[in-house]
Structure 1
């Protein structure tokens, strides 16, 4: 039998170090996947809230800005 067939049938055993590293990697990836899913859900929720707020604000008629009273201009003194 060739090497590929042998490895397909008889899986080589991982050493203790490799097994522990594989476990650590798997757990770390699971944690990161959960964090990514939470972040994406939060982003989607916030995006929808922003769009709803913008839609509600667009429906309101905007009031014209109130004119502010101007202060009298102070004449500058010139030095002689």
Structure 2
């Protein structure tokens, strides 16, 4: 049993290693959050762009379909 206690003590993580591991976990969590936000932003932008293009096409079609008004001369 004495050898297993020595072995356990030899492989026990150091405090600095634990801090680094915790920092790595925090960094990975922050990156995951930022990537999720970036994907959501890109999806929202793409959706809004599609809606804007659709609206502009509808407005252009409506403008072309509307009868053009003739210019009237103003009395001087």
TM-score (norm 2): 0.65
Unaligned runs of 5+ in 1: 1-13, 71-80
1:48 aligns with 2:54: yes
Q: Which residue of 2 aligns with 1:39?
A: 45
Aligned Cα RMSD in Å?
1.5
Unaligned runs of 5+ in 2: 1-19
Give structure 1 regions of 4+ aligned residues with deviation exceeding 3 angstroms.
none
Please state which structure has a larger fraction of its residues in helix: 2
Q: Which residue of 2 aligns with 1:18?
A: 24
